[in-house]
Amino acid sequence: MQRPDTTDLHGPRFKLIVVALMSIVVAVLYVLQAAFWEEGKHPESWERAVQSLSYLWGIPILTGGVSVIGMLFQRRVSRHEPVPGRVASLVSFRYVSRGTNVETLHHAIESVRREMADLPAFPYVIEAIVEQDIDLGDQDDLIKLVVPRDYATASGSMYKARALQYGLEQSPLPDDAWILHCDEESHVHDSLIRGIYQAILEEEASGEHRIGQGAIVYHHSLEEHPFLTLADSIRTGDDIGRFHLQNRKLGIPVWGFHGSFILVRNSVEREVDFDFGPAGSITEDAFWALCQAERGRRSRWVDGYMIEQAPEKLSDFLRQRRRWFVGLAKCVTSAPVALRYRVPLAFFMGVWSVSWLAIVYTYLNLFTGYYTHPAVQAVGNLAFASFLTIYLVGLRANLRLRGVGKRKALLLYFVQALCMPIFSTLEGLSVLYGIVKPETGFHVIQKGQTGARPPAARSAGARAASSEVALSSSADR
């Protein structure tokens, strides 16, 4: 099967698309407001409460505008240029799983083998850290680490942090190996192999050994669960924008880190373990990133895409966001790092808490038509346009990597724009959920294997060859 061409996904034309999207949305908003609003209409009595929301209208520009700026720093990366040789560093694709969704984990592991067979840019192994002993086959490229039931960390860390700490302690990887952290449904795209190759080449040459992050798409279940897949477009758009700016230009985790698509040298990972105790066990990724920044370690951007899956249930969507909100709040209050690393995250969370009100108010004000100061109107329109751009840019990446046809893509773009107020409301409800009923555990959303590309057939010889390369490199160290 021919893969979709992602050569110009972030080329010069992409920046024109971003600017054009912003301009068109702002222009359309002004046209609609002129048509709907009654000139000079002022609210009366209780209506002033609705009109007062206009003062929140511009708040999303503080994050949405940053994302748009981050998009304009994207650069063209061709997936057709040959990889010039191989890097000697061993790369581990480290999966963490409770072991209850074996088929999903199998498919994810096979995606690694398939892409590494097609593009053997470095020796590799696959590490699976599981909480119960499951059958993952007996391939030579696989290292399975089963977390004992009675295993406890020194600080009492729980959930994924506990499993990651066990993996850090038990993994046989040499210090100069690199680790790509994956969730149990994380699939590898060929652009990711190229991105890992380039990142390791640069970091080993410079000796900086920065921690890498890149963009994640969530199109696995687009056909089966289109609504929540579209809702997760904002995550991809945010990666391409805000997180790209953070990691390519700033080099510090201003807005935290994802738990997957972390590329880190083993020697660097061991500098800060995952044993943060209960407070750091809900969003252990952001906790760990802040602690690395405190030690002076910097981050970088990795060009390439990891493929994951959006929630299948609305309840999972809300509980997932609630966990993030509560976990990041604990990072702000409990992470053992200087205030200068926690204040930006606290500011982002405050904006996150109220941004949804501003997005919803854009639609509400179209029908109320209350007078709004022209400066507030301009900032509000820009804020709305920036968020719609984030959603549409995220959707574009998902559709391009999925290989969706133009006719269907146009329909999905229209639905994405139409449903944005619903998605914004859901994001807001999840924050309120976290405030009213904070996360007390670690909710793992259900992720099936629907929509995933089936593993391509590979010969036994091809498997053996890639396994032999990985293990011989590991043994040499």
Domains defined for the chain, CATH in brackets = 12-74+346-436 (no CATH), 91-340+442-476 (3.90.550.10)
Q: What is the pLDDT of residue 32?
A: 87
Q: What is the pLDDT of residue 431?
A: 87
Per-residue pLDDT of the chain (477 residues; tens, 9 = 90+): 445 555 557 777 899 999 999 999 999 999 988 887 766 666 666 667 666 777 778 888 889 999 999 999 998 876 666 777 789 999 999 999 998 889 999 999 999 999 999 999 999 999 999 999 999 998 999 999 999 999 999 999 999 999 999 999 999 999 999 999 999 999 999 999 999 999 999 999 999 999 999 999 999 989 999 999 999 999 999 999 999 999 999 999 998 898 899 999 999 999 999 999 999 999 999 999 999 999 999 999 999 999 999 999 999 999 999 999 999 999 999 999 999 999 999 998 888 888 777 777 777 777 777 777 788 889 889 988 999 999 999 999 999 999 999 999 999 999 999 999 899 889 888 988 888 887 666 556 666 654 444 333 333 333 333 333 333 333 333
Q: What is the pLDDT of residue 456?
A: 39
The set of long-range contacts for 464-472, using a CB threshold of 8 Å and a minimum separation of 24, is: 464/140, 466/113, 466/116, 466/117, 466/120, 466/124, 466/141, 467/139, 467/140, 467/141, 468/140, 469/120, 469/123, 470/90, 470/123, 470/124, 470/125, 470/140, 470/141, 471/125, 471/140, 471/141, 472/123
Q: What is the pLDDT of residue 256?
A: 87
Q: What is the pLDDT of residue 453?
A: 44
Q: What is the pLDDT of residue 458?
A: 38
The set of long-range contacts for 197-203, using a CB threshold of 8 Å and a minimum separation of 24, is: 197/83, 197/86, 197/87, 197/121, 197/122, 198/302, 198/303, 199/263, 199/300, 199/302, 200/87, 200/89, 200/91, 200/122, 200/263, 201/87, 203/265, 203/300
Q: Is the pTM of this model over 0.85?
A: yes
3-state helix, strand and coil shares in percent for the chain, rounded to the nearest 5: 55, 10, 35
Q: What is the pLDDT of residue 445?
A: 61
